[in-house]
Structure 1
Amino acid sequence: MKKILLAVVALLSIFPARADEGMWFLMFIERLNHRDMQKMGLQLTAEEIYSINNNSLKDAIVQFNGGCTAELISGSGLVLTNHHCGYDAIAELSSPENNYLRDGYWAADKKGELKPKSLFVRFFVRMDDVSKRILSKLNDNMTEAEREKAINQEIALIEKENNEGGKYVVSVRSFFQGNEFYYFVYQDFTDVRLVGTPPESVGKFGGDTDNWEWPRHTGDFSMFRVYGDANGNPAEYSPNNVPLKPKQHLKINLNGVKENDFAMILGYPGRTNRWMPAGGIEQNVKFAYPAWVEGAKTGMDNMQKYMQQSDELRLKYASKFASTANYWKNRQGMIDALTKFQTAKTKADQEAKFNKWANKSENKARYGSVVETLNNYYKMTNEKSRHDMYLNQLFRTTSYGSIGRGLGKMLENYAKADEKKRQEMKPQIEDAVEGLFSEQHIPAEKDIMAAQLKLYATKAVGYPIAPVVEKIAKANNNDFTKFVNATFDLSILTSKERIAAFLEFPSEQLIVNDPLNQFSNELLAHFSKRSDELAKAQNDYGAAYRKLVEGLRASKLAPIRYPDANSTLRLTYGKVRALPADKRNDAKVNNFTTFDGMIKKYKKNDPEFDLPQRMLDFAKSKDFGRYQDKSGFMPVNFLTDNDITGGNSGSPVLNGKGELIGLAFDGNIEAMAGDVIFDKNLQRTINVDIRYVLWLIDKYANAKHIVDEMTIVK
Structure 2
Amino acid sequence: MKTKKIWFLILLLLPFTLVRADEGMWFLMHIDRLNHRDMQKMGLQLTSEEIYSINHSSLKDAIVQFGGGCTAEIVSKDGLVLTNHHCGYGSIAELSTPEHDYLTNGFWARSRPEELKPKSLSVRFFVRMDDVSKRILSKVNEQMTEYEREQIINREIARIEQENNEGGKYVVSVKSFYNGNEYYYFVYQDYNDVRLVGTPPNSIGKFGGDTDNWEWPRHTGDFSLFRVYADKDGNPAEYSESNVPLNPRYHLPISLKGFQENDFAMILGYPGRTNRWMPAAGIDQNVNFAYPAWVEASKIGMDNLKKHMDQNQQVKLEYAPKYAQVANYWKNRQGMIDALSKHQTATTKRADEAKFNLWANKKENKAQFGQVIETINQYYERTNERSRHDNYMMGMLRSSTFAALPYVLGRALLIYADGTDAKRSAIKSDIEAEIANQYETLYLPLEQDVLAAELNLYASKAKAGGLAPLVDSISQATHGVFGDYIKQAFASSLFASKEKLFAFLANPKAEQVEQDPLFLLSSAIMTRYRYTDEAQKREEADFQRAFRLMVEGMRQANPKKVYYPDANSTLRLTYGRITALPADPQNDAKENYYTTLKGTVAKYKPKDEEFDLPQKLIDLYEAKDFGRYADQKGYLPVNFLTNNDITGGNSGSPVINGKGELIGIAFDGNIEAMAGDVIFDHQLQRTIAVDIRYVLFIMDKFAGAKHLVDEMTIAE
**TM class by smaller structure:** over 0.9
* 1:22 corresponds to which of 21, 24, 31: 24
Name the SS of the counterpart of 2:234 in structure 1.
coil
* Residues 219, 599 of structure 2: 8 Å contact kept: yes
> Which residue in 2 is equivalent to 1:533?
535
> Which residue in 2 is equivalent to 1:271?
273
How far does residue 405 in structure 1 lie from its aligned partner after superposition? 4.5
* 1:358 corresponds to which of 353, 357, 360: 360
* Residues 595, 635 of structure 1: 8 Å contact kept: yes
Out of 380-389 and 616-625, give the one that drifted further.
616-625
How far does residue 508 in structure 1 lie from its aligned partner after superposition? 2.3
* Matching of residues 450-529 of structure 1 within 5 Å: 450-529=452-531
Name the SS of the counterpart of 2:403 in structure 1.
coil
Name the SS of the counterpart of 1:225 in structure 2.
strand
Give 2:377's aligned amino acid: N
Unaligned runs of 5+ in 1: 1-17
* Matching of residues 313-462 of structure 1 within 5 Å: 313-462=315-464
Name the SS of the counterpart of 1:275 in structure 2.
coil
How far does residue 420 in structure 1 lie from its aligned partner after superposition? 3.5
How far does residue 119 in structure 1 lie from its aligned partner after superposition? 0.2
Alignment partners' CA distance in 2, 1:259 and 1:420: 69
Give 1:226's aligned amino acid: V
Deviations 1:670-708 (A, max 9, x none): 100000000011000000000000010011000111111
* Matching of residues 241-280 of structure 1 within 5 Å: 241-280=243-282
Give 2:566's aligned amino acid: D
* 1:562 corresponds to which of 555, 561, 564: 564
Alignment partners' CA distance in 1, 2:412 and 2:268: 39
* Residues 354, 557 of structure 1: 8 Å contact kept: no
Residue 265 and residue 610 in structure 1: after superposition, are their counterparts in 2 closer, same or farther (change >3 A)? Answer: same
> Which residue in 1 is equivalent to 2:552?
550
> Which residue in 2 is equivalent to 1:673?
675
Out of 677-686 and 406-415, give the one that drifted further.
406-415
How far does residue 440 in structure 1 lie from its aligned partner after superposition? 2.3
* Residues 58, 250 of structure 2: 8 Å contact kept: yes
Deviations 1:202-260 (A, max 9, x none): 00000000000000000000000000000000000000000000000000000112100
Matched, 1:642 2:616: no
How far does residue 19 in structure 1 lie from its aligned partner after superposition? 6.2
Alignment partners' CA distance in 2, 1:73 and 1:422: 48
Alignment partners' CA distance in 2, 1:342 and 1:558: 27
How far does residue 559 in structure 1 lie from its aligned partner after superposition? 8.2
How far does residue 416 in structure 1 lie from its aligned partner after superposition? 3.0
Alignment partners' CA distance in 1, 2:429 and 2:349: 52
> Which residue in 1 is equivalent to 2:4?
none
Out of 134-143 and 33-42, give the one that drifted further.
134-143
Alignment partners' CA distance in 2, 1:500 and 1:404: 14
> Which residue in 2 is equivalent to 1:15?
none
* Residues 652, 666 of structure 2: 8 Å contact kept: yes
* 1:694 corresponds to which of 688, 696, 714: 696
How far does residue 530 in structure 1 lie from its aligned partner after superposition? 2.3
Deviations 1:72-100 (A, max 9, x none): 00000000000000000000000111000
Out of 432-441 and 86-95, give the one that drifted further.
432-441
Give 2:75's aligned amino acid: I
Residue 607 and residue 223 in structure 1: after superposition, are their counterparts in 2 closer, same or farther (change >3 A)? Answer: same
Give 2:584's aligned amino acid: D
* Residues 316, 438 of structure 1: 8 Å contact kept: no
Name the SS of the counterpart of 1:356 in structure 2.
helix
Give 1:271's aligned amino acid: R
How far does residue 433 in structure 1 lie from its aligned partner after superposition? 1.9
Matched, 1:174 2:210: no
Give 1:419's aligned amino acid: D
* Residues 631, 637 of structure 2: 8 Å contact kept: yes
* Residues 21, 683 of structure 2: 8 Å contact kept: no
Alignment partners' CA distance in 2, 1:643 and 1:47: 22
Deviations 1:438-495 (A, max 9, x none): 3321111111111111101111132221121111111111110111111111111121
Name the SS of the counterpart of 1:629 in structure 2.
coil
> Which residue in 1 is equivalent to 2:654?
652
Alignment partners' CA distance in 1, 2:266 and 2:222: 19
Residue 277 and residue 590 in structure 1: after superposition, are their counterparts in 2 closer, same or farther (change >3 A)? Answer: same
Alignment partners' CA distance in 2, 1:306 and 1:196: 28
Give 1:363's aligned amino acid: N
Alignment partners' CA distance in 2, 1:439 and 1:67: 22
Deviations 1:308-327 (A, max 9, x none): 01110101110000000000
> Which residue in 1 is equivalent to 2:153?
151
How far does residue 554 in structure 1 lie from its aligned partner after superposition? 0.5
How far does residue 533 in structure 1 lie from its aligned partner after superposition? 2.4
* Residues 552, 558 of structure 1: 8 Å contact kept: no
Out of 142-151 and 287-296, give the one that drifted further.
142-151
Deviations 1:499-531 (A, max 9, x none): 111122222222232221121111111222223
Alignment partners' CA distance in 2, 1:102 and 1:353: 55
Out of 401-410 and 459-468, give the one that drifted further.
401-410
Name the SS of the counterpart of 2:152 in structure 1.
helix
* 2:59 corresponds to which of 53, 57, 66: 57
Give 1:124's aligned amino acid: F
Alignment partners' CA distance in 2, 1:108 and 1:361: 73
Alignment partners' CA distance in 2, 1:557 and 1:510: 63
> Which residue in 2 is equivalent to 1:196?
198
Name the SS of the counterpart of 1:462 in structure 2.
helix
Give 1:474's aligned amino acid: Q
Alignment partners' CA distance in 1, 2:625 and 2:426: 58
> Which residue in 1 is equivalent to 2:235?
233
* Residues 661, 689 of structure 1: 8 Å contact kept: yes
Alignment partners' CA distance in 2, 1:661 and 1:684: 16
> Which residue in 2 is equivalent to 1:4?
none
Out of 425-434 and 472-481, give the one that drifted further.
425-434
Alignment partners' CA distance in 2, 1:614 and 1:345: 52
Out of 175-184 and 128-137, give the one that drifted further.
128-137
> Which residue in 1 is equivalent to 2:99?
97
Out of 18-27 and 609-618, give the one that drifted further.
18-27
Alignment partners' CA distance in 2, 1:281 and 1:413: 43
Alignment partners' CA distance in 2, 1:177 and 1:136: 16
Deviations 1:251-290 (A, max 9, x none): 0000112100100100000000001111111100000000
Give 2:204's aligned amino acid: V
Identity of paired residues, percent? 63
How far does residue 436 in structure 1 lie from its aligned partner after superposition? 1.9
Alignment partners' CA distance in 2, 1:408 and 1:495: 13
> Which residue in 2 is equivalent to 1:3?
none
> Which residue in 2 is equivalent to 1:139?
141
Give 1:186's aligned amino acid: Y
How far does residue 579 in structure 1 lie from its aligned partner after superposition? 0.4
Alignment partners' CA distance in 2, 1:609 and 1:496: 39
> Which residue in 1 is equivalent to 2:284?
282
Name the SS of the counterpart of 1:473 in structure 2.
helix
> Which residue in 2 is equivalent to 1:609?
611
Deviations 1:179-219 (A, max 9, x none): 00000000000000000000011000000000000000000
* Matching of residues 68-147 of structure 1 within 5 Å: 68-147=70-149
> Which residue in 1 is equivalent to 2:309?
307
Alignment partners' CA distance in 1, 2:224 and 2:416: 40
Out of 508-517 and 465-474, give the one that drifted further.
508-517
How far does residue 422 in structure 1 lie from its aligned partner after superposition? 3.0
Name the SS of the counterpart of 2:287 in structure 1.
helix
Name the SS of the counterpart of 2:613 in structure 1.
coil
Alignment partners' CA distance in 1, 2:581 and 2:561: 25
> Which residue in 1 is equivalent to 2:218?
216
* Residues 21, 682 of structure 2: 8 Å contact kept: no
> Which residue in 2 is equivalent to 1:294?
296
Alignment partners' CA distance in 2, 1:558 and 1:448: 53
Alignment partners' CA distance in 1, 2:418 and 2:148: 32
